[in-house]
């Protein structure tokens, strides 16, 4: 006679369908928390990185300190970062989100700067000749042409944040990291493997989704398609 399917829990197998069936709500809750922390962290990081990048581009004297500070923050180990933030925010989700925002800044600031630097100077001159002011030039010409680099930075920051969110389990707000941590502590193999696989899938899905967004927003970057960057900036200032 075959053994009941539930025996995989008794045997503590790595792959166990019964675990997924009986703990589905727990897995969904952890995944939702993981997604929420990731989205909030990257969104806030982008909102902070954008003005920092503009500041670094506008005043050369500020570029060194901005890039240096964000780089130093990225080198701080996640355990130390979260530990330093606990006295400020307490054991809350704010500790995790703040730490992840700080980590995302070095990637986002550098990519925004790289994207803006790659905008053809002739595009700027053409826009100024058509009466574009600084703000209209930035949002109407420079940012659209800088989108490939900006979205690439968001992709890298998002995948990195999905991974680092698991460390938030140290303060009880790690999404799937909570299940991984608990499973390792109790040697619950199915929980560790299932949560780890879901975490990897989240990173892959997020990266592919952002890649699709990038392709939709920047059709001129597709290989073999008419509409190269030069034609794109002409369209932008038309």
List pLDDT tens digits, range 20-64: 888 888 899 999 999 999 999 999 999 999 999 988 888 877 778
Considering the chain, what is the average pLDDT of its residues?
84
The listed range with the strongest mean pLDDT (40-54, 143-157, 176-190) is 40-54
> Right CATH number for 7-119+146-237 from 3.40.109.10, 3.40.50.20, 1.10.3720.10, 1.10.540.10?
1.10.3720.10
Measured CA to CA, the distance from residue 53 to residue 223 in angstroms comes to 29
Residue 161 pLDDT grade (very low, low, confident, very high; cuts 50, 70, 90): very high
pLDDT for the residue numbered 227 = 45
The listed range with the strongest mean pLDDT (32-46, 54-68, 78-92, 174-188) is 32-46
Let me know: does 229 contact 120? Beta carbons within 8 Å. Answer: yes
pLDDT for the residue numbered 34 = 94
Mean pLDDT across 60-73: 82
Provide, rounded to the nearest whole percent, the portion of the chain with pLDDT above 70.
89
pLDDT for the residue numbered 31 = 93
Domain limits, the chain = 7-119+146-237
Please indicate whether residue 11 or residue 149 has the higher confidence score (pLDDT).
Answer: 149
pLDDT for the residue numbered 183 = 86
Inter-axis angle of helices 189-217 and 24-58, to 10 degrees? 40
Buried b (16+ CB within 10 A) or exposed e, 60-70: eeebeebbeeb
**Assessment of whether the complete model's pTM goes beyond 0.95:** no
pLDDT for the residue numbered 232 = 53
């Amino acid at each position: 006679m075959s053994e009941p399917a539930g025996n995989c829990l008794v045997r503590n197998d790595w792959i166990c369908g019964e675990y997924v069936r009986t703990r589905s709500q727990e897995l969904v809750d952890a995944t939702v928390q993981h997604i929420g922390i990731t989205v909030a962290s990257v969104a806030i990081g982008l909102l902070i990185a954008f003005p920092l990048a503009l500041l670094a581009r506008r005043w050369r004297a500020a570029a060194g300190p901005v890039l240096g500070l964000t780089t130093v923050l990225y080198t701080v180990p996640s355990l130390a970062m979260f530990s330093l933030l606990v006295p400020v925010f307490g054991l809350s989700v704010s500790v995790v989100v703040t730490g992840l925002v700080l980590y995302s800044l070095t990637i986002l600031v550098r990519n925004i700067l790289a994207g803006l630097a790659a905008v053809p100077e002739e595009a700027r001159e053409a826009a100024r000749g058509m009466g574009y002011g600084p703000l209209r030039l930035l949002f109407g010409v420079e940012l659209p042409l800088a989108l490939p680099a900006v979205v690439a930075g968001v992709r890298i920051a998002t995948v990195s944040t999905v991974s680092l969110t698991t460390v938030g389990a140290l303060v009880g707000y790690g999404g799937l990291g909570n299940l991984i941590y608990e499973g390792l502590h109790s040697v619950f193999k199915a929980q560790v493997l299932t949560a780890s696989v879901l975490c990897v899938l989240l990173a892959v899905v997020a990266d592919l989704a952002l890649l699709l967004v990038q392709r939709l927003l920047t059709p001129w970057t597709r290989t073999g398609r008419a509409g190269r960057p030069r034609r794109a900036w002409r369209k932008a200032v038309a």
